[in-house]
Structure 1
Amino acid sequence: MGDKYVNHKSCYEHLYAGCISYRVLCNEADHKFKGLFIAGKKLGLIALAMASFSAAISGWVFVGGPGLYFSIGQGSLWMTFPTAISFAMAWIILGKRMRLLTEVNDCMTAPDAVYARYKSKWVSGIAAIAILVGLVLYLANQITAFAFILSPIFKINFQWAVLVGMGIVLIYSVAGGMLAGVYTDVFQGACMIIASIIIFALCLVNGNGTQNMAAGIVEVLSKDAVGAKFVNPWGIMPAITTMSWFFCLSIGIVGQPHIVHKFYMVKEVRKMKWGVVLAAIGGMVAGLLWFGVGLAVKYLAVTGKLPAEAMDLLKKSTDNTIVVFLNYYTPKVIAGVVYAGIASAIMSTADSFINIAAASAVRDLPFAFNKKLDSKQELFMGRIVVVIIAVVTIILALTLGPKGIALLGAFGWGTFAAALAPAIGIGFNWSRGTKQAAFASIIVGLVCNVGLEIAKVLGANFYKTYFASKGIYNGTLSLCLSIIVYILVSYMTKQEKLDTKVEAVLEA
């Protein structure tokens, strides 16, 4: 990959100066692909911040969050509290390095970055596989959230809503592409920030303030000793569980390929530090919708103030919490805007996932096996991959989706975190990390997290005995093991000299 470059002289000077004029000679097809996939490296700072925040939350926060709060209470907020820390970590630890990496190694995907760092096609190949697994889980999360929005609007059952939602996303993806998804993320991210503030205000009005709602919940639920726990810091969950969510969602952002990928797009490296503030503020404000709607609907439900039809929706699934509030307690115009905003945010995020997954399948995996597909082969393979992704996504959405959108989203996040956070997050900040360590950590993180989640769903006895009883979130346990493996194997294997350009990136 590095052999494509010209004018390598003064590499350090260019990197430390944050020079954006450093250019690579590439053929016309590569140039077009780069323009579409990484926006020609011309994305403004505000656009990047809004796109990264929108891609990170979307259906997970706007649909799954209120439903999770309704189910377990205040403890669910430990999934939103990491927002400020996680975005700060991503931008400070990886932001500038990923952007500079595109200048010296022509990177366009997360596996590109992995290959540039470790010079191992095996490592970049296994990273591509991990990305495909995680993206399917994340896409299932988005489609499930989309289905919960479509179902009550068009009066169709959840199963049909999943199929319709997947179809809409596929059409959108074919018509729009990655760049359309990015700019839609920007617009819808801004809309959802404003909508979150308005909806939170409506929650306070309908519930007569947070203190009244909390007191009402405690009073009604105190008979079964759940009330006080519901509004306590941990909710009805063990403290170890909620804190492990916090750990995984804070640290794990450096392994999220849809976040890492967006750093390639930014135009001005020197101003990236301000992106931390913009992205974090967006994430925190969006969290108001999670908290406000979950608390308000729970209060209205336990105090008997919800209409019977609304209670029926909640009995079907607590992920209908946002639907209940929008349908019964929000002015129709505002509700319509919020519905449109959530749907668009989900579609643009899902579009990004499909494009990244397709790139991993037709670009990164063939590269790992010393193969290069021509345009016809890429088109053919791309179509097959999209069909397979769609089928697997539908199956996951129908089987795991009803168990909780927020928890399904956490499954996808945890898979990325456990598999990729050490190799990327630590690897681009610690020159001692080796390719053997990266390979081992990706395998351990991926197998451990997916294996534990499957055991959880199947109700395996060993999982109930040795893992469930401890209360530690699977993603956190897998991430910790992956980090330990990365560090230990790095010290046990020989350190290889880094490429000069990559060394400059690490020291930038």
Structure 2
Amino acid sequence: MIGIGVYCHKKTSSVSDFVLGGRSVGGWITAFAYGTSYFSAVVFIGYAGQFGWSYGVSAAWIGIGNAVIGSMLAWMILGRRTRIMTKQMGASTMPEYFEKRYNSKGLKVVSAVIVFLFLIPYTASVYNGLSRLFGMAFNIPYSACIIGMAVLTAVYVILGGYKATAINDFIQGIIMLAGISAVVFCVISKKGGLSSALGQLGAISDTGVPENTLNSLFGPDPINLIGVVILTSLGTWGLPQMVQKFYAIKDDQAIKRGTIISTIFAVVVAGGSYLMGGFGRLYGSADEAVAAQTGRTFIERGANGKLIYDSIVPAMLHDALPEVLIGIVVVLVLSASMSTLSSLVLTSSSTLTIDLIKPAVKGGMDEKKQVLTMRILIAAFLVLSVVIALNPNTYITTLMSISWGALAGAFLAPFMYGLFSKKITKAAVWTSFITGVGITVIHMFIFSLGFFPEATKAAASLKLNMASPINAGAIAMIVGLIVVPLVSSFTKVKDTEYVDRLFEECGKEAG
């Protein structure tokens, strides 16, 4: 990885080289960069354990949604148009897109602040789940693991920028594909094969859910399962660290290849992770007596009374995998975390430099100063993420969902509609920013931070889990998709000549 950073450093001189790899990255590399930025240890350890426990094997629908909606459709609908329009406008970041598409510096500044604020907790959450896995496998202290991971990530990202990150993502993606395939095979084989494992899962009576639902097609709670699918699948369409991959891709042929490759990658990695998590109750129990009686691992509860979901997957791996495979899985989770971490810090540093610092510097900043500033900020963001992760906050996993909800809720609708329609207005974009961030922040204060306990009690009686930040994020995105065309229908585009010229130039570029 360090060698790749050194190699790419020699080819990284301009801002475009550092942030977008000179807009010359091929389909294979971009597809793996997209997939490895999508799926981190949060998915493999945290979400696979939590949603597998809650929904059984129907949690695999989340992986299918990630593959079809979050990967295939995202590439098909957004990929080519994003590449053409951002290249034509000369945009390198999501806030630059909003500035140049809607001819508004205000939109750029506010969107840059939103990116900065909501990517920091997401960056910290990437470390989540590593502590138990490393402790189970090697007795390596959590602090040593995350500091080592941050230093290694810093070296190759600071040296080589986006291209070094993308090439390393390709290598890390291969490790993820091989590792998850092996893990799923071992987890199911340990219980006598797929049909036997499904039978055992349906027969468990200490689950707190109706029998024969954890092994059913849609599981015990299909309504809340849909909320998870929407947030984790549609959410990628509005996340800056995801859509910026389309800015960098080389040509239309690379997009066609990337669509197929990223979809297959998501089926294996996401589908495999959630399917594996669906068998979690065969390896663990929340009842201490049942755990002792059946030989399953006792899944403890935290101070808030909730199950410690991050312990489920490590318990499964400990019981199901031979020792040599546990080592491979540790590398798998480390790879997944580093690839996501590198994408997040590169996105944060480029946004802060290009969209906030550069405009504030009198006389501007030349290319060398911008690249140097981004490198310094990458180091600063990694230090900050380590500091947060070394002082574990009970809300880090929750904040990851809040980050996705706020970013996608604010950006998805104005970004996507703005690619194809001349009629989207600045007022509609501002409305989307306000509703996306507003819904998630208000929800955080009411439910996640517990400022209004009566509201939490009232929400508990509803079939849709309103206390879930995942459902709040899904609602924020849906609201954005509705309000942007609605507000645009009764407000006017003031600078029609500018928008007409932009779309005309993009049409010529599309050829």
In the superposition, the TM-score normalised over structure 2's length comes to: 0.82
SS in 2 for 1:207: coil
Distance (Å, rounded) in 1 between the aligned partners of 2:54 and 2:486: 38
Shift of 1:504: 4.1
Moved more, 342-351 or 487-496: 487-496
Distance (Å, rounded) in 1 between the aligned partners of 2:244 and 2:213: 40
Of residues 314, 329, 353 in structure 2, which corresponds to 1:362? Answer: 353
Are residues 388 and 124 of structure 1, via their aligned partners in 2, closer, same or farther at CA, if it must alter by over 3 Å? same
Give the corresponding residue for 1:53: 35
Task: Say if 2:257 is the partner of 1:280.
Answer: no
Of residues 81, 88, 94 in structure 1, which corresponds to 2:64? Answer: 81
Deviations 1:425-474 (A, max 9, x none): 12112221012211221122012213312422122236426656342510
Distance (Å, rounded) in 2 between the aligned partners of 1:307 and 1:184: 43
Deviations 1:13-55 (A, max 9, x none): xxxxxxxxxxxxxxxx996221122111221111111111111
- 1:9-158 matches, within 5 Å, as 32-74=14-56, 76-83=59-66, 84-155=68-139
Residue type at the aligned position of 2:161: G
Shift of 1:156: 5.5
- 1:213-292 matches, within 5 Å, as 213-221=197-205, 224-237=208-221, 239-292=222-275
Give the corresponding residue for 2:430: 439
Distance (Å, rounded) in 2 between the aligned partners of 1:393 and 1:436: 38
Cα pair 2:130 2:142 within 8 Å, conserved: no
Shift of 1:140: 2.0
Task: Say if 2:444 is the partner of 1:461.
Answer: no
Cα pair 1:358 1:386 within 8 Å, conserved: no
The share of aligned pairs that are identical, in percent, is 22
Give the corresponding residue for 2:305: none
Give the corresponding residue for 1:301: 284
Cα pair 2:50 2:309 within 8 Å, conserved: yes
Cα pair 1:46 1:278 within 8 Å, conserved: yes
Task: Say if 2:373 is the partner of 1:387.
Answer: no
Deviations 1:384-408 (A, max 9, x none): 68536743674378555x5685x55
Shift of 1:164: 6.0
Distance (Å, rounded) in 1 between the aligned partners of 2:167 and 2:216: 39
Deviations 1:160-182 (A, max 9, x none): 76566555544554455332221
Distance (Å, rounded) in 1 between the aligned partners of 2:124 and 2:269: 21
Deviations 1:312-368 (A, max 9, x none): 676673313332333342233332222112202211220121111011112112456
Deviations 1:260-295 (A, max 9, x none): 111122122244233222111110111343234324
Moved more, 36-45 or 452-461: 452-461
Give the superposed CA RMSD.
3.4
Residue type at the aligned position of 2:384: V
Distance (Å, rounded) in 2 between the aligned partners of 1:204 and 1:305: 22
How many residue pairs align between the two structures?
A: 477
Deviations 1:65-121 (A, max 9, x none): 331144313354443231212222321222112211343222211112222211111
Of residues 306, 319, 323 in structure 1, which corresponds to 2:314? Answer: 323
In the superposition, the TM-score normalised over structure 1's length comes to: 0.82
SS in 1 for 2:205: helix
Distance (Å, rounded) in 1 between the aligned partners of 2:475 and 2:253: 36
Residue type at the aligned position of 1:387: A
Distance (Å, rounded) in 2 between the aligned partners of 1:262 and 1:184: 14
Cα pair 1:151 1:161 within 8 Å, conserved: no
SS in 1 for 2:423: coil
